[in-house]
Amino acid sequence: MSLIDLVYAFESATRAHENIGSQPLEDHAIIEEEFKSAKENLIVEIKERTNDPALAVIQYILSDNVDGTDDAMEFLNYWNEGEFDILRRNWNNIPDEVFIGADPLFKVAPPVRVGRHIEGVSINGLEYILDDSKQICIFKNEATARQCLVNNFGFKEEQLDDLVFEELDHSYASDIND
């Protein structure tokens, strides 16, 4: 199916889902499954596309961060009008991809690697955080690195102040650890 067909299928499933209360009880499970399937198919197709901010917006409004159709339409209207400050104020966890190329004032935070000072002789005085394959971890940005270090590496918030977040050139973007 093309992206347009998937959008139409999702729109149809959304309308049916919004009117589920007026449908016979035995149809509710089918309507729920069609809605879930249409949403998942659209998300998968969007993820396979390039970094188009319009597709990132669609993916975001399909997420759990947006509460219902009215909220999604309000988000789309603000985005389409270029009211990016309102979006940042009123919605949480908006990915950078929503703004890249759409907001002329948006600056992409650079990828970072994280190190800590070590004692003794070393070339640069830092010991970098490594992944499971013993490669230096490259994070999308400092905020992502901080969150990952607390959630996945067992660091405490207060320990993060002792670390060095070294900004990298955007050419490292392909090396980012997910």
Q: CA 129 to CA 114: how far, in whole Å?
A: 6
On the question of pLDDT at 174 being above 70, the answer is: no
Map out the domains of the chain as residue ranges. Answer: 3-98, 112-175
Whether the CB-CB separation of 88 and 145 falls below 8 Å is answered with no
- Degrees (nearest 5) of the Cα angle 177, 141, 57? 90
User: In whole angstroms, what separates CA 66 from the centre of its chain?
Assistant: 13
pLDDT (average), residues 158-167: 90
- Residue 79: which of 98, 63, 66 has the closest Cα? 98
Average pLDDT along the chain: 82
Are 42 and 7 in contact by the 8 Å Cβ rule? The answer is: yes
Query: Between these two residues, 152 and 176, which has the higher pLDDT value?
Result: 152
CA separation for the pair 63, 130 (Å, rounded)? 31
> Per residue in 74-125, pLDDT tens?
988 898 888 989 998 998 888 888 887 777 777 777 889 998 887 766 566 7
